[in-house]
């Protein structure tokens, strides 16, 4: 049953309504949300957010069901001083409520970034991409091996054809948004390069590395869902304790030429326990997306990521996508199962702020070594509002 969030809906929808500028653009309501300027426009405050309304249908070995949920309901405030400093505060009011982005960033020189607080850990291309533009309702099964948000500090540098970010991170605030209940403490870094850099064609390579240590009472459990965070759970490892350290590796590639984009990653984790046992997990995905309405894909040089179709003056766009992903914890040291999913989706952008998304997922999984292979089908329809 959908839980109403009327105050948040009003906050997100009202900025989309036609409105004149006030006080010589001191306060502006437009398709980017609510903007307030001061100090001769050197200081700006932006109020925005996102609302994801999901309906899903499930068909599997245990029967069929349907449901509707508020997947995300977030409000964020961003304060910018010239191009020098940014403070961002973002709060989630649906699902696992709590803080998401909560950080301060300074840019003391061209291309240099210093950041502290809670934000996306610089490890995985998929985690660095906003949910506003990824062509599926959820990230791939391989995202179960990444931390997404965490508290820490990082330094970064970006140039025309490469980026580097590295920092020290701990757990997330409130309830962690990563798949593991404990994220550990340690160093994480990511570097990217544009091997091909033409006007409408780009080839991107990236690598990520993390090395984290854990406390005596910390435990990890990896899980994965089919098609939606509200979908059936298709992988769940036993609780892993007595962890000494965890080392993760990420390799990524992305290519786009005008309105066609391809993207893939391979992620591997090695867990060393205080008992001397070593445990290994791996995952990855490959996806293709196409915009038949012709809008080209964009690339962020500062973040080293694809950022979705460039709507430009043509505000309506159709995007079609397909993805294969997997998460493998099926080895004798864990016996946590293996899961594979195939996703297809169609997304209709109605301006910069609205998107209708329809997807279907077929998952094949085995809960334990030697166990039966099971199948489940999940269909998701999403109405998305974002500013």
Is pLDDT at 374 greater than 70 in this prediction?
A: yes
Pairwise CA distance, residues 135 & 344, whole Å = 9
Give the contacts of 58 (CB within 8 A, at least 6 positions apart): 64, 65, 66, 67, 226, 231, 232, 376, 377, 378
User: Residue 278's pLDDT is what?
Assistant: 86
Give me the phi and psi of 132, to 5 degrees please: -65, -25
| Tokens encoding 254 | 């992305």
CA angle 283, 383, 99 (to 5 degrees): 65
User: Residue 93's pLDDT is what?
Assistant: 92
CA angle 150, 153, 154 (to 5 degrees): 110
Burial letters for 192-230: b for 16+ Cβ neighbours within 10 Å, e otherwise? bbbeeeeeeebbbbbebebebebeeebebebbbbbbbeb
Beta bridge partner(s), residue 378? 58, 361
Per-residue pLDDT band at 7 (split at 50, 70, 90): very low
Weakest-pLDDT range from 10-24, 230-244, 331-345, 346-360: 10-24
Domain annotation for the chain: domains and CATH numbers: 53-77+96-386 (2.40.160.10)
| Tokens encoding 19 | 């409105």
| Tokens encoding 150 | 């965490």
Is pLDDT at 161 greater than 90 in this prediction?
A: yes
- Tell if the pTM clears 0.85, that is, is over it: yes
Beta bridge partner(s), residue 115? 105, 154
Q: Which pLDDT tens digit goes with each residue over 227-243? A: 999 999 999 888 888 99
| Tokens encoding 215 | 């406390």
Which helix (H) or strand (E) covers residue 235, if one does?
strand 233-236
Answer whether 31's CB lies under 8 Å from 15's CB: yes
Question: What is the arithmetic mean of pLDDT over 56-78?
Answer: 92
Question: What is the arithmetic mean of pLDDT over 163-187?
Answer: 78
Per-residue pLDDT band at 88 (split at 50, 70, 90): very high
User: Residue 303's pLDDT is what?
Assistant: 95
Q: What is the mean pLDDT of the chain?
A: 89
Answer whether 45's CB lies under 8 Å from 32's CB: no
Answer whether 324's CB lies under 8 Å from 102's CB: no
User: Residue 10's pLDDT is what?
Assistant: 46
Half-sphere exposure of residue 45, counting CA atoms within 13 Å on the CB side? 7
The percent of residues in the chain predicted with pLDDT above 90, rounded, is 70
Give me the phi and psi of 125, to 5 degrees please: -55, -45
Nearest residue to 295 via CA among 347, 344, 245, 336:
347
User: Residue 181's pLDDT is what?
Assistant: 54
| Tokens encoding 63 | 């029967």
Query: Distance of alpha carbon 314 from its chain centroid, rounded?
Result: 26
Q: Which pLDDT tens digit goes with each residue over 289-328? A: 999 999 999 999 999 999 999 988 778 999 999 999 999 9
Pairwise CA distance, residues 234 & 57, whole Å = 16
| Terminal-residue alpha carbon distance, the chain | 25
Give the contacts of 195 (CB within 8 A, at least 6 positions apart): 203, 204, 205
Which helix (H) or strand (E) covers residue 12, if one does?
helix 6-13
User: Residue 15's pLDDT is what?
Assistant: 47
Is pLDDT at 176 greater than 50 in this prediction?
A: no
Question: What is the arithmetic mean of pLDDT over 332-357?
Answer: 90
Is pLDDT at 29 greater than 50 in this prediction?
A: yes
Q: How many CB atoms lie within 10 A of CB 112?
A: 12
Which tops the pLDDT comparison, 153 or 367?
153
Q: How many CB atoms lie within 10 A of CB 7?
A: 11
Beta bridge partner(s), residue 162? 193
């Amino acid at each position: 049953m959908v839980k109403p969030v009327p105050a948040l809906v009003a906050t997100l929808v009202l900025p989309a309504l036609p409105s004149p500028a006030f006080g010589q653009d001191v306060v502006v309501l437009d398709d980017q949300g609510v903007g307030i300027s001061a100090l001769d426009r050197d200081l700006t405050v932006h109020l925005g957010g996102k609302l994801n309304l999901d309906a899903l249908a499930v068909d599997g070995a245990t029967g069929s069901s349907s449901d509707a949920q508020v997947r995300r309901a977030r409000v964020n405030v961003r304060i910018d001083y010239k191009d020098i400093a940014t403070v961002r505060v973002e709060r989630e009011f649906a699902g696992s409520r709590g803080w998401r982005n909560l950080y301060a960033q300074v840019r003391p020189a061209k291309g240099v970034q210093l950041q502290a607080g809670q934000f996306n850990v610089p490890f995985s291309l998929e985690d660095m991409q906003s949910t506003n533009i990824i062509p599926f309702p959820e990230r791939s099964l391989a995202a179960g091996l990444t931390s997404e948000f965490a508290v820490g500090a990082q330094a970064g540098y970006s140039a025309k054809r490469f980026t580097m970010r590295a920092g020290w991170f701990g757990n997330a605030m409130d309830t962690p948004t990563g798949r593991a209940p404990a994220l550990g403490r340690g160093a994480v870094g990511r570097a990217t390069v544009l091997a091909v850099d033409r006007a409408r064609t780009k080839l991107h390579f990236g690598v990520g590395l993390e090395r984290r240590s854990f406390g005596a009472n910390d435990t990890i459990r990896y899980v994965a869902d089919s098609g939606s965070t509200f979908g059936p759970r298709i992988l769940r490892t036993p609780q892993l304790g007595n962890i000494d350290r965890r080392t993760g590796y990420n390799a990524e590639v992305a290519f786009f030429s005008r309105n066609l984009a391809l993207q893939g990653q391979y992620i591997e984790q090695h867990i060393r326990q205080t008992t001397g046992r070593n445990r290994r997990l791996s995952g990855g995905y490959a996806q293709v997306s196409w915009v038949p309405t012709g809008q080209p894909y964009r690339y962020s040089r500062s973040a080293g990521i694809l950022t979705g179709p460039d709507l430009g003056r043509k505000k309506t766009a159709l995007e079609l996508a397909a993805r294969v992903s997997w998460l493998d914890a099926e080895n004798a040291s864990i016996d946590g199962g293996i899961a594979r999913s195939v996703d297809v989706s169609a997304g209709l952008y109605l301006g910069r702020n609205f998107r209708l998304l329809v997807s279907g997922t077929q998952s094949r999984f085995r809960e334990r070594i030697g166990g039966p292979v099971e199948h489940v089908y999940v269909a998701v329809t999403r109405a998305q509002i974002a500013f």
